[in-house]
Structure 1
Amino acid sequence: MATSLPLSRQALSSERPGKWEEELLDGSLRLLDICGEVRDIYSRMKEIMQELESSIRRKRSGDLAHESSYMISKKHLNKMIRKVYKELKKAENCNSTVVNKDSEDVPLVSLIKEVQLVSLPVLEYVLSFLSGPKAGSQPKGWSFVSNLLEQKRASSKPDSDTAAIKQIEIQLDLLNYKKSNQEVIKKLEEVDSSIQESAEVLEIVFRLLLKTRVSLLNILNH
């Protein structure tokens, strides 16, 4: 989790930072925490996929045990997702830092601010890939991020417009209509591959947020 990282206010110089420095520090830590929570969600989703595929391989067609287990896991996952959506909304509302224009570090600080702003729609996008976009919650920059990431999947993932959880439920429904286990597993593996792609994007965002926080701490230490 992001909160366990060796990055804290104690790393600052003895001079108390001003309002804009405090706001940027709070923003960077908030985004790292949110990113850590989204990583936890993706980690849990991977576990669910492994359990589901393994269960389907063991069961006969028409056996609903795997479906029941998945629905229980889905309920917990959706609870985690709703919590992060609320935190993302708060982060959007708090992202209004005014930088001290007299500072010689204005260009770098402005870049750090831009990274924070761009990270919000990316984090929301990777969440929406699992559960579908939350109504009325699309932040500034959503279209750019959505188009950028969809281009990566468009050629090989025909169901990329459908949330991963919905795709899984479609396949479980098909099992109930006697579709072969192997066909369903193949489709689930495709969904799993898409989840992995989004997880890789998430790791890039996490590393970028981490680097910008280190840069901000370095600025305030000099």
Structure 2
Amino acid sequence: MAASPLNVQPSVHARSNSLPSREHPMASQIDENLNRLRASQSASTSSSVGDKLNCLQDLYDYVDMFLQLPHTQQALAQEQQRKPVDELLDGFLLLLDVCGTAKDALLLTKEGTQELQSILRRRRGLEGLSNEVRKYFTSRKAARKAICKALKNLKHMENKLTTSSFSKDGETGAVIGTLKQVEAVIISVLESILTFISGPEAELKSSRWSLVSKLLHQKRVMCEEAEQNTNEIAYAEAVLRSFIKSGNTKHVENVQNELQNSEMCIRDLEEGLESFFRRLIKARVTLAFKATPLCFRNRRQLEPVEGIGGVSTSSSSIGHKLNGLQDLHECVDMFLQLPLTQQALVQEQHRKCTEELLDESLMILDVCSIAKDALISKTNETANAEAPLHSLIKSGNIKHIEYEQNQLQKSELCIQDLEEGLDGLFKRLIKARVTVLNILNC
């Protein structure tokens, strides 16, 4: 599926000179970043994708500053803008979900790539490798299916954006128009990134044999030149398919090199997407907060992580939600500092509700403690499981030991990440509870 062009011009497009508060540097910076993204070519290498992600991060840094401007907050808080603001908040949820899909697809691909590299290092023969290759391409097929669904959602979002209507008069309309422009460009960039991660089958089939031929038969310089002009992930897959079909073990080192390049590419993309993901969460929470400064009228506006996916099935998706919860509680802390919030909490008619909130916070803290204890127990079990493996290695029985060790190490790293995320959330929950208690005792 081809990516949409970056120069999407929705019906809500406003001229660059309509950006509010033109004297503010972030106004011109938003305009500049939008133009850079519109003018950029379709992502065909990890370098070009990385450039887009860096530009997205810069853009959202300025969007965050834009949302802090007093006139922006006044515009967003107006009742007549409630519908377009709600549409923007819904759009943020979909963009977060798409980012989650991209990150999960990269994680699946990285894990499969690492497993293939491990098997090649052990030189277990083509039979064992063929089985693992089939597993790899099965997981890639599942990832492509999820990406295809995400692309359809983005296309639906893009169509909805082009037909949306709102008052464009004055600075209020200019604020909404600017945010709509940002949303339109982000949709196109994410379509381009998803297409790169998917590595379209049509592109693979048309370029596979020429790419493999250059890798296996041309000089090294020519190979490097070819690599610079192709999708690193798709390139490694093409080389892998050719290697399995030919069965020529002389090319093992070439295959290992391409898989390693693919893994490095994936790691860079993961870092870029994670950074953008966190900025997107922050922007959504800020938008909800600024649009309703006296109270959060809609609970789902306060919880961006609630709309991401469903039941968490991987450590990556759980990590996303823990990060989102931590960002959320930072905004809750800001909300509790508002004079009107504090005045509302100390009113006698709200005493019962406030006490219920405090009781519920204790229950949540207790659940967090149980989860942390369970992770500590799992850490101990993992450590105990490693001891027998070491004894087997000493005794000379090393069959499948390396694989089991890798799995245990992955499990241990996963547990460590979850422990850090839970601990960060636990501390923020305590801080929020203490803040409420201090307000009540003043």
TM-score (norm 2): 0.38
Q: Does 1:79 pair with 2:145?
A: yes
CA distance in 2, matches of 1:170, 1:132: 14
| Residue 7 (structure 1) aligns with | none
Alignment partner of 1:215 out of 286, 293, 300: 286
Displacement after TM superposition at 1:201 (Å): 2.8
What 5-or-longer segments of structure 1 have no aligned partner?
1-12, 136-154
| Superimposed CA distance per residue, residues 81-133 of structure 1 (whole angstroms, 9 cap, x where no aligned partner) | 22222222212212234343357554543343233222212222222222235
Seen in structure 2, the aligned counterparts of structure 1 residues 33 and 215 have a Cα distance that, compared at 3 Å, is same
Displacement after TM superposition at 1:215 (Å): 3.0
CA distance in 1, matches of 2:186, 2:226: 24
| Residue 197 (structure 1) aligns with | 268
CA distance in 1, matches of 2:241, 2:144: 18
| Residue 181 (structure 1) aligns with | 252
Letter in 2 for 1:48: G
SS in 1 for 2:270: helix
Identity %: 33
CA contact (8 A) 1:116 1:209 kept: no
Matches within 5 A, 1:2-41: 18-41=82-105
| Residue 49 (structure 1) aligns with | 113
CA contact (8 A) 1:27 1:91 kept: yes
Greater Rg, structure 1 or structure 2? Answer: 2
Which fold has the larger relative contact order, with Cα–Cα distance below 8 Å and residues 6 or more apart in sequence?
A: 1
| Residue 187 (structure 2) aligns with | 120
Aligned residues: 191
Seen in structure 2, the aligned counterparts of structure 1 residues 172 and 70 have a Cα distance that, compared at 3 Å, is same
CA contact (8 A) 1:157 1:190 kept: no
Q: Does 1:94 pair with 2:94?
A: no
CA distance in 1, matches of 2:170, 2:286: 15
CA distance in 1, matches of 2:165, 2:99: 24
| Residue 143 (structure 1) aligns with | none
SS in 2 for 1:179: helix
CA distance in 1, matches of 2:172, 2:80: 17
CA distance in 2, matches of 1:75, 1:19: 39
Letter in 2 for 1:121: S
CA distance in 1, matches of 2:201, 2:253: 33
Greater mean deviation of Cα atoms: 62-71 or 45-54: 62-71
What 5-or-longer segments of structure 2 have no aligned partner?
1-76, 203-223, 294-442
Displacement after TM superposition at 1:160 (Å): 4.6
CA distance in 1, matches of 2:253, 2:262: 14
Letter in 2 for 1:38: A
Alignment partner of 2:177 out of 97, 110, 119: 110
Letter in 2 for 1:128: T
| Superimposed CA distance per residue, residues 7-51 of structure 1 (whole angstroms, 9 cap, x where no aligned partner) | xxxxxx9x7963212211211111112112222111222212112
SS in 1 for 2:227: coil
| Residue 136 (structure 2) aligns with | 70
Displacement after TM superposition at 1:168 (Å): 1.7
Seen in structure 2, the aligned counterparts of structure 1 residues 60 and 134 have a Cα distance that, compared at 3 Å, is closer
| Residue 158 (structure 1) aligns with | 227
| Residue 123 (structure 2) aligns with | 59
Runs of 4+ in 1 over 4 A off after TM superposition: 102-108
CA distance in 1, matches of 2:278, 2:225: 27
